[in-house]
Amino acid sequence: MRFLIVINLAGKIAALLVGWGAPVVALALWFGPDLLLAYHIFVPSAQGLVRVHHRFSTGRREVWLTIDDGPDPEDTPKILALLAAHEAHATFFVIGENAAAHSELIRAIAAAGHEVGHHTHTHPLAWFWCATPSRVARELDDGLAALGAAGVNPTRFRSPAGIKNLWLGAALRARDLTCIGWSARGLERQGGDAATVAARATRGLAPGAILLLHEGPRVPAPIRVEAIRRVLEILQEQGYQCVVPGPEQLQN
Ligand SMILES: [Zn+2]
């Protein structure tokens, strides 16, 4: 992170020194490092600001199913039943506000042997990239408090839409939270039926993949739960088990 900031400041100073003598060069020096910084903030797989894990190592046909944006009173119980029917384990990256409203669902997820992860308190999409240190801290600590009240101490975090910011890495380290990305996602709001979404989420399927799907009202109604049902069927057909990997298995 320091490297990115130093590059950015150095570019600005160099641009001022070059000035109107060479305006094209000055503009490139001014905005070039901004583009580099934007890449590391907005591209989910970029590692410049926060170390993000996108795969895990395994010698077996295993994948990690992760379900974001819950808990949801309609979807979560159905998803828990599906996971039980497939003897699958998953991680639910939940939103703190939802967890506070439905702590019974957080307890049910944990009681069924699944992992509860942290997905911020309010799921900020518009301003998370430029959040101040105190807002980042509030997003993390309010979520931790909501989960703690339900008896859960998460060790893993997923950014909203994979967006990062300058302060996130240190804030996660201070709270012993590991940032988890994905290797494939369903992109439920990009159109298609449950089969299309499931095909996207299982594209390039290989041992150690991290699959990302969503629950709750932001998922289009016809594919809510159904896309996850179809993913579980595909995984079973192909002989994959859904596991929650240990910390030593995580890879970039
Ligand atoms: Zn989300």
Helix (H, G, I), strand (E, B) or coil at 40: helix
Residue 216: per-residue pLDDT: 97
Q: Which of 53, 114, 119, 214 is catalytic?
A: 214
Check residue 55 and give its pLDDT. Answer: 97
Residue 87 confidence (pLDDT) above 90: yes
* Interval between CA 189 and ligand 1 midpoint (Å): 12
Q: Return the SS3 of 2.
A: helix
Q: Is 68 a catalytic residue?
A: yes
24-58 core/surface letters (b: 16 or more CB in 10 A; e: else): eebebbbeebeebbeebbeebebbbbbebbbbbeb
Q: Is 93 exposed, middle or buried (0-12, 13-18, 19+ CB in 10 A)?
A: buried
Whole-number pLDDT of residue 242? 98
Is 89 or 39 the better-scoring residue by pLDDT? Answer: 89
Q: What angle do CA 51, 61, 222 make, to 5 degrees?
A: 80
**DSSP bridge partners of 185:** 212
Q: Please tell me the distance between residue 28's alpha carbon and the centre of ligand 1 in angstroms.
A: 34
Residue with tokens 């159905």: 78
Q: Among the listed ranges 31-35, 207-211, 246-250, which one has the minimum average pLDDT value?
A: 31-35
* Ligand 1 midpoint to CA 219 (Å): 11
Cα 124 to averaged position of ligand 1 atoms, centre (Å): 9
The answer on pLDDT for 73 being more than 80 is yes
Eight-class DSSP state of 53 = E
Report the candidate in 189, 184, 190 with the shortest Cα–Cα distance to residue 234.
Answer: 184
Q: What's the CA-to-centroid distance between 122 and ligand 1, angstroms?
A: 10
- Separation between Cα atoms, residue 120 and residue 161, nearest integer Å: 11
Tell me the mean pLDDT in the region 236-246: 97
What pLDDT is stored for residue 225 in this prediction?
Answer: 97
Q: Considering the candidates 68, 69, 72, 75, report the single residue annotated as catalytic.
A: 68
The mean predicted confidence, pLDDT, of the chain is 94
Lowest mean pLDDT among 44-53, 138-147, 196-205, 207-216: 44-53
- Residue % of the chain over a pLDDT of 70: 100
> Among this protein's residues, is 72 annotated catalytic?
no
Cα R_g (the chain), whole angstroms:
20
Distance 81 CA to ligand 1 centre (A): 22
pLDDT in tens, 24-51: 888 888 887 888 888 788 778 888 789 9
Query: What is d(CA 22, CA 14) in angstroms, rounded to the nearest whole number?
Result: 11
Distance, C-alpha 238 to centroid of its chain? 25
pLDDT at 194: 96
Question: Tell me: the pLDDT tens digits for 117-168?
Answer: 999 999 998 889 889 999 999 999 999 999 999 999 999 999 999 999 999 9
CA 62–ligand 1 middle distance (angstroms):
23
Amino acid at 41: I
- Between helix 75-85 and helix 103-111 the angle, nearest 10°, is 0
b/e per residue, 163-185, with b = 16+ CB within 10 A?
Answer: bbbbbbbebbeebebbbbbbbbb
Stretch 223-230: mean pLDDT, rounded? 97
Give residue 119 CA to ligand 1 midpoint distance, Å: 7
Is pTM, for the whole model, over 0.85?
yes
70, two tokens: 């819950």
